[in-house]
Structure 1
Amino acid sequence: MKIAAIQMRSISGHIEKNKLKGLKYVYDAIRKGADIVVLPELWSTGYNLSKQTFLKHQKSTETIVQECRQIAKEFGVVLVVPFIDKKEEDLFIAVAVIEKSGEILQVYHKSFLWNKENLKFKHGANHFEPIQTSIGKVGLLICYDMEFPEPSRILTLRGAELIIIPSFFSFESEKRWDIQLPARAIDNTVFVLGVNAVGEGSCGKSKLINPKGALVHECSRLSEEILLCDIDLNDIHVIRKKIPYLNDLDPSLYPHIM
């Protein structure tokens, strides 16, 4: 399976320009054979906006998701597309998983909000349920969600093979990004894909980590790039025979999952 992560620089508030750039990268990844393509957190809006501005652009981000459904169906590719969701008067940082058929399999709302995000968005419902896609069982987190070990563990115990984390991780948090992504992979013996932005103070370095916690590929800190890698999900079973964390886990720690 070939996976692609789009590391891009968004212009805050310029929805159309961000959309055109992001979709150009998506098409490039598809031409290069990607089976699944992932965009970074808040890619279509930019990150440093007021609540009023996010609210203004919310409908436009939903429209982009609908465009991505057509792309997924036309080219037979799974797309993971962050957007802004709205329920009644509440805004959520969200991600849609779109199947090759164009069907939206799941919309995930960010559960843990960082700092001033709490003033703009509502917390998601801590619903950590992996999605069965045509390319494997995928778990979704968004940025700060990754910094807590429990969501990744719950996704793994429920069958996730690849945990995808669209993000806007800052230079100030770069060391945590470098430590926590491999930690989530090795603790759970799963593949982890962190998809970060560049610009607006974000540190880039989108990366793919294998189930041994080893770095497969990493983008630069400053450049827009497409991370494109082949992975074999069967590697998970091989590695778990050598590193039996999940077999040795006490099921009483997770009574409602194990």
Structure 2
Amino acid sequence: MNKRTLPVALVQERNHGDANANLSVIEQRVAEAARSGARLVLLQELHNGCYFCQHESVDEFDLAEPIPGPSTDRLGALAREHGIVLVSSLFERRAAGLYHNTAVVFEQDGSIAGKYRKMHIPDDPGFYEKFYFTPGDLGFEPIDTSVGRLGVLVCWDQWYPEAARLMALAGAELLLYPTAIGWDPSDAQAEKTRQRDAWVLSHRGHAVANGLPVLSCNRVGHEPSPLAAEGPVGAGGIEFWGNSHVLGPQGEFLAEAGTEATVLIAEVDLQRSEHVRRIWPFLRDRRIDAYGDLLKRYRD
């Protein structure tokens, strides 16, 4: 079986202060990725600034922008300049009082190939996203690009096997997760390790269960909480743990980053999914006649 190799890059970065500063760094990082031969580049979740969801403040809505808008113009020009497919993550202002956490995919010519609005929205100490984001309404639909059909999901979606499965059932050739995940610095080291390992394991499970490559791009660095003076749970800020990775369709590591800013480069054999699904035909053996209760919140 012939290979169909796709060079990919994940831009794992820290916050540099504001959208202009972050996009300037992203432009440098994407240029580096393109020089390395990458044809698909994935950015981290909400890459234009800090992870502002550590508190609830109406002032943060000023960060949102329309799609298309200033950031999509700049990112589209970047994709066109380097002839790459670029997956970004933006705070979308759809209308007054209506906002989404939205991934935007750019084609090699800089046009918008499609977008995905984050479906699962967390609401936990340090991750108050329900205050800001309306759950997505575009469904789990892969985005067709010149490098393949991309199953783009966002951060909290990564814990839900249903999301990955529905992308796979719609013909996605890769699963991509822009993400912003980290631990409370006050957590014990053992708890930190358990959290990070569970995160990686969830992605490996999606790869195995669906026979697909998985790309997950996280941010790095400590971001202090605006609630620090108030002292509630989560007020110590978030230490984003990086560890961005590229997995093959059996959950094998093709590349893995550490905890520093970097451009992670890997080669993905898209044809390998065909081979893996022939020896592990999970889609063939699904008992779709017996899964009706999956539409229930819980089986009482």
- Identify whether the pair has TM-score above 0.5, normalized to the shorter chain: yes
Please report how far the alpha carbon of residue 254 of structure 1 lies from its aligned counterpart in structure 2 after TM superposition.
7.2
What is the alpha-carbon distance in structure 2 between the residues aligned to residue 65 and residue 164 of structure 1? Answer: 19
Q: How does 1:1-258 map to 2 (within 5 A)?
A: 1-11=6-16, 14-48=18-52, 50-59=56-65, 62-88=69-95, 89-115=97-123, 116-125=128-137, 127-171=139-183, 172=192, 173-199=195-221, 200=223, 201-220=239-258, 222-252=259-289
**More helix as a share of residues:** 1
TM-score by length of 1: 0.92
Name the Cα RMSD after superposition. 1.8
**Partner secondary structure for residue 133 of structure 2:** coil
What amino acid does structure 2 have at the position aligned with 1:248? D
Q: What's the offset of the Cα at 1:48?
A: 2.9
Q: CA deviation at 1:126?
A: 6.0
Q: How many residues align?
A: 253
Runs of 4+ in 1 over 6 A off after TM superposition: none
How far off its partner does 1:253 sit?
5.6
User: 1:54 Cα shift?
Assistant: 3.2
Structure 2, unpaired ranges of 5+: 1-5, 184-191, 224-238, 293-300
1:154-180 deviation line (CA, Å, top 9, x unaligned): 000110110000000113542321210
* TM-score, with structure 2 as normaliser: 0.80
2:63 corresponds to which letter in structure 1?
H
| AA aligned opposite 1:95 | A
Percent identical among aligned pairs is: 28
- Supply the distance in 1 between the matched residues of 2:71 and 2:243 (Cα, whole angstroms): 25
State the alpha-carbon separation in 2 of the partners of residues 54 and 83 from structure 1: 13
Deviation string for 1:38-65 (max 9, x for gaps)? 1100111210355434322223994122
Larger radius of gyration: 2
Question: How many Å apart are 1:251 and its aligned residue?
Answer: 3.4
